[in-house]
């Protein structure tokens, strides 16, 4: 078969004049009837690798694919390029008798070149016998990572394919294709399919036109996302959320802010889903807000950004989802919001699963944490994860991430690296990262105790530094290649040759200081500004803070009752110069604006004038009002002195969520008189004691109050009282 024929077929069937990446080599391998293994990133053009040889070969190629929807898309596409309707078929349990008959006769007649099957259908005796009686050119296994438990999408039905293929015929070439490139998954695939000798083609996973950015997720994530989308007005983008509810909320928020956004998730009926998908593809909608149900098989080339409202559960998912940006080679901004709390949420989801699966899920999540928190080149991190070397000084796209554009501080850490390597060496390389760090800082746990490691002279050698420091350094040492994680033992860390060399001949090791991403305490409405990557005007924020201080001093009130930090932050972002604008700021109601706002508004007006600031009027993020009817209900019910637990129950709210709503009400300047409730739970002395605390306190954090009272009150009591307090002294 000459190359000319190959190009002629490419043109004839697909209308393309060039092969993409390694396609030509892959196809030649398949046409030689050799087992072939293809690793290409999503969008790399894997389908064509088996479709073209299938069309050229004699007989029928079987394509195993996990998703019926994907199969249907491909079959439709193939039928469109051929005059022969029967050129491609799907064989699955949804077909009726007549349809099955038609499929079989087309195969027997040699019309059908590609037969798509789900692995379940392949296990049926009847199908195996039939396929055994016809000419099969090869079997292609798409999304082959489903074979491996170590992938992100394990499907047990995939594990028996080898045996079934042997029953269908002798020496049928097997083609495995996947976009998951971790060495462990690849090894599993080859082993399970029995094709260790396969010709392997692995494309680079580097996507140089994608810009990777991670920002801390705060309570302002709605505004952060809205602002980001507004800054990219008119561009096409996907926003991924974990839950359907969040998809709906965020889509609404974007809509009321004038953004053409549509929601997409599996809870919508099929018609709506198709409609929304089409609107996005046809550019009636700029943005689709979706769960991960969206995107499989979607091939919109000009997606300019992918935002993750929640961090994905594996690097594979992150890579795949961000990979939908910039398919056309143009700009693609990948922005993810990360908070460690989301990781804990994901861990909770796994808790019902079998232990082995949990261990794997946990290991995958730890990689996500490392990726999110790292200060090194994100591209290098991802490619290292996929077993690919990348030099970010010379490699394409080397400067395309937040860490490389805005580098974090670095410092010499040669001695500390030697310390880590020594501890691992001396403990016989049997610990996972977490335990190694425990040994370093001197924390005992059952495992360490059972090895008597706590009696060793090096136990606690690193206790002068924090756990986070050692974790961060350990990750950097891993990526530098001095250590490796042993996958079989769920992430036990071992020394590499380079690691042994380093102990003998240490050289300079510049450690990048990691982001802190310390979780803002949920109890406190005050959001920690430090490290937050948003666009608030820091200089103005500082001015607003000192204004707040002087107002507070004048009124002998703690500053937090005037305005909360997030409100000041929002002012430093939106530059409100009228009272009305001020009352649109996060956490500021009309009442509060009137009462305390005047001096803030004039301060901002001066600041805007002096610094020639163009005010981004259109950045004002409106809220959806979804919650305001709830708030109104609460205000009215409290007015009628209904028991708080009844009000919460009537709205189907858990108490902590209900309290949160009430807090939002009083913090934005509306009074709530809950004395009737407080009297029931706290006597007068107690009330006085808590009141005195808050009036003196530097901030309103509940955990600090808890500490102060040392268990005298529970969280809810303190939060209730804080509502009364804010309501009275601030409003």
How far apart are CB 144 and Mg ion at their closest, in Å? 11
Is 44 near ligand ADP (CB under 6 A)?
Answer: yes
- Here's the x/- map for ligand ADP, 242-281, by CB under 6 A: it reads as ----------------------------------------
Shorter beta-carbon distance to ligand ADP: residue 207 or 246 = 207
Shorter beta-carbon distance to ligand ADP: residue 297 or 506 = 297
Residue 515, SS3? coil
Closest by CA position to 46, among listed 67, 68, 74 = 74
How far apart are CB 68 and ligand ADP at their closest, in Å? 16
Q: What are phi and psi of 409, to 5 degrees?
A: -60, 150
Tokens of 555: 């009124």
Considering only residues 342 through 371, tell me which ones interact with ligand ADP, judged by CB under 6 A.
Answer: none
How far apart are CB 42 and Mg ion at their closest, in Å? 7
- Here's the x/- map for Mg ion, 19-58, by CB under 5 A: it reads as ---------------------------x------------
Site residue total, Mg ion (CB under 5 A): 1
How far apart are CB 47 and Mg ion at their closest, in Å? 5
Cβ-contact 666, 729 below 8 angstroms? no
How far apart are CB 299 and ligand ADP at their closest, in Å? 5
Is 727 near ligand ADP (CB under 6 A)?
Answer: no
Shorter beta-carbon distance to ligand ADP: residue 17 or 94 = 17
Cβ-contact 511, 553 below 8 angstroms? no
Largest CA distance in the chain: 94
User: Could you tell me which residues come within 8 angstroms of residue 14 by beta carbon, excluding any fewer than 6 positions away?
Assistant: 48, 52, 81
Is 42 near ligand ADP (CB under 6 A)?
Answer: yes
Binder among 40, 56, 221, 242 for ligand ADP (CB under 6 A): 40
- Here's the x/- map for ligand ADP, 19-38, by CB under 6 A: it reads as xx--x---------------
Residue 218 vs residues 122, 205, 222, 442, 663: alpha-carbon distances, Å:
48, 31, 9, 32, 17
Distance CA 486, CA 495 (A): 10
| Residue 16 site contact among Mg ion, ligand ADP, none (CB < 5 to 8 Å, cut-off depends on kind) | ligand ADP
Cβ-contact 522, 701 below 8 angstroms? no
Pure H helices in 565-683: 565-574, 579-582, 590-610, 626-639, 644-650, 655-667, 675-681
Binder among 9, 28, 34, 43 for ligand ADP (CB under 6 A): 43
Distance CA 433, CA 486 (A): 11
Please report which helix (H) or strand (E) contains residue 419, including its range: helix 414-426
Shorter beta-carbon distance to ligand ADP: residue 46 or 379 = 46
Bridge partners (DSSP) of residue 288 are 238, 262
Considering only residues 283 through 302, tell me which ones interact with ligand ADP, judged by CB under 6 A.
Answer: 299
Distance CA 703, CA 193 (A): 55
Is 204 near ligand ADP (CB under 6 A)?
Answer: no
Shorter beta-carbon distance to ligand ADP: residue 1 or 695 = 1
How far apart are CB 145 and Mg ion at their closest, in Å? 11
Residue 226 vs residues 220, 458, 566: alpha-carbon distances, Å:
10, 51, 16
Give the range of 44-52, 84-92, 160-168, 360-368 binding ligand ADP by CB under 6 A. Answer: 44-52
Chain residues binding ligand ADP by CB under 6 A are: 16, 18-20, 23, 40, 42-48, 299
């Amino acid at each position: 078969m000459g190359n000319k024929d190959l190009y002629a077929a490419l043109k004839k069937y697909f209308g393309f004049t060039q092969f993409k990446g390694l396609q030509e080599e892959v196809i030649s391998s398949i046409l030689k009837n050799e087992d072939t293994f293809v690793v290409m990133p999503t969008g790399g053009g894997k389908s064509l690798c088996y479709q073209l040889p299938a069309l050229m070969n004699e007989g029928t190629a079987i394509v195993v694919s996990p998703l019926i929807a994907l199969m249907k898309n491909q079959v439709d596409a193939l039928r469109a390029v051929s005059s022969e309707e029967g050129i491609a078929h799907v064989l699955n349990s949804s077909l009726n008798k007549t349809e099955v008959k038609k499929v079989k006769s087309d195969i027997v007649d040699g019309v059908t070149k590609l037969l798509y099957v789900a692995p379940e259908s392949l296990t049926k005796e009847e199908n195996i016998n039939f396929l055994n009686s016809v000419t099969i050119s090869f079997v292609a296994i798409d999304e082959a990572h489903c074979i491996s438990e170590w992938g992100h999408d394990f499907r047990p039905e995939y594990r028996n394919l080898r045996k079934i293929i042997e029953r269908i015929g002798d020496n049928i070439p097997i083609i495995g294709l996947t976009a998951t490139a971790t060495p462990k998954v690849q090894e599993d695939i080859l082993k399970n399919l029995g094709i260790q000798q396969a010709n392997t083609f692995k494309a680079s996973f580097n996507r140089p036109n994608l810009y990777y950015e991670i920002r801390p997720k705060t309570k302002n994530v709605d505004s952060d996302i809205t602002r980001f989308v507004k800054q990219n007005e008119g561009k096409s983008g996907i926003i991924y959320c974990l839950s359907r509810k969040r998809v709906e909320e965020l889509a609404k928020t974007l809509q009321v802010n004038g953004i053409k956004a549509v929601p997409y998730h599996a809870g919508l009926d099929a018609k709506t889903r198709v409609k929304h998908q089409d609107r996005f593809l046809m550019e009636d909608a700029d943005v689709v807000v979706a769960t991960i149900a969206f995107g499989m098989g979607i091939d919109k080339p000009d997606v300019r950004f992918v935002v993750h409202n929640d961090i994905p559960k594996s690097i594979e998912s992150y890579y795949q989802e961000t990979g939908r940006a910039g398919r056309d080679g143009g700009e693609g901004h990948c922005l993810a919001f990360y908070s460690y709390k989301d990781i804990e949420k994901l861990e909770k989801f796994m808790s019902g699963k079998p232990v082995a699966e949990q261990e794997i899920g946990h290991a995958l999540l730890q990689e996500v944490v490392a990726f999110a928190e790292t200060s090194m080149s994100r591209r290098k991190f991802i490619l290292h994860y996929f077993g690919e070397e990348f030099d970010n000084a010379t490699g394409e796209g080397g400067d395309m991430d937040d860490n490389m554009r805005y580098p974090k501080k670095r410092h010499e850490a040669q001695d500390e690296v030697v310390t880590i390597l020594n501890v691992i060496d001396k403990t016989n390389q049997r610990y996972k990262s977490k335990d190694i760090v425990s040994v370093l800082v001197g924390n005992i746990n059952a495992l360490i105790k059972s090895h008597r490691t706590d009696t060793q002279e090096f136990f606690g050698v690193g206790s002068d530094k924090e756990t986070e420091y050692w974790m961060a350094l350990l990750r950097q040492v891993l990526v530098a290649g001095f250590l490796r994680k042993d996958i079989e033992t769920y992430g036990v860390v071992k020394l590499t040759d380079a690691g042994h060399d380093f102990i003998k001949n240490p050289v300079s090791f510049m450690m990048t200081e990691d982001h802190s991403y310390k979780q803002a305490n949920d109890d406190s409405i005050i959001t920690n500004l430090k490290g937050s990557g948003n666009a608030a005007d820091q200089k103005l924020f500082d001015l607003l803070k000192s204004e707040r201080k002087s107002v507070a001093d004048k009124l002998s009130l703690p500053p937090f009752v005037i305005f909360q930090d997030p409100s000041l932050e929002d002012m430093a972002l939106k530059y409100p110069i009228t009272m009305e604008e001020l009352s649109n700021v996060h956490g500021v109601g009309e009442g509060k604006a009137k009462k305390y706002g005047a001096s803030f508004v004039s301060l901002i007006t001066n600041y805007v004038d002096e610094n020639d600031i163009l005010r981004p009027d259109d950045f004002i993020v409106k809220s959806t009002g979804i919650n305001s009817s709830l708030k109104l209900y609460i205000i009215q019910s409290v007015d009628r002195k209904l028991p708080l637990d009844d009000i919460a129950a009537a709205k189907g709210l858990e108490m902590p969520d209900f309290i949160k709503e009430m807090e939002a009400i009083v913090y934005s300047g509306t009074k709530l008189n809950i004395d009737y409730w407080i009297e029931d739970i706290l006597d007068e002395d107690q009330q006085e004691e808590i009141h005195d605390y808050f009036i003196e306190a530097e901030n309103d954090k509940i955990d600090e109050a808890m500490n102060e009272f040392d268990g005298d009150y529970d969280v809810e009591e303190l939060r209730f009282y804080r509502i009364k307090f804010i309501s009275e002294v601030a409003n």
